[in-house]
Amino acid sequence: MDDSCRFFRIYFMMVKFYHFDKIPSFTIKNYYFFIAS
């Protein structure tokens, strides 16, 4: 649970500081799977 919360916090920070359109969805998915595994 801590890892997912940490990921979501980083994810929302990325969305906050960067436009979502600039970040490819597959990059975020790969980043998520990388942390999950």
Question: What kind and span of H or E run contains 3?
Answer: helix 2-17
Query: What is the structure's pLDDT at 34?
Result: 72
Q: What is the pLDDT of residues 1-37, one digit of tens each?
A: 567 778 888 877 777 766 555 656 667 777 777 777 6
Based on DSSP, count helices (H) and strands (E) in the chain, helices before strands.
Answer: 2, 0
For the chain, the domains span 3-36
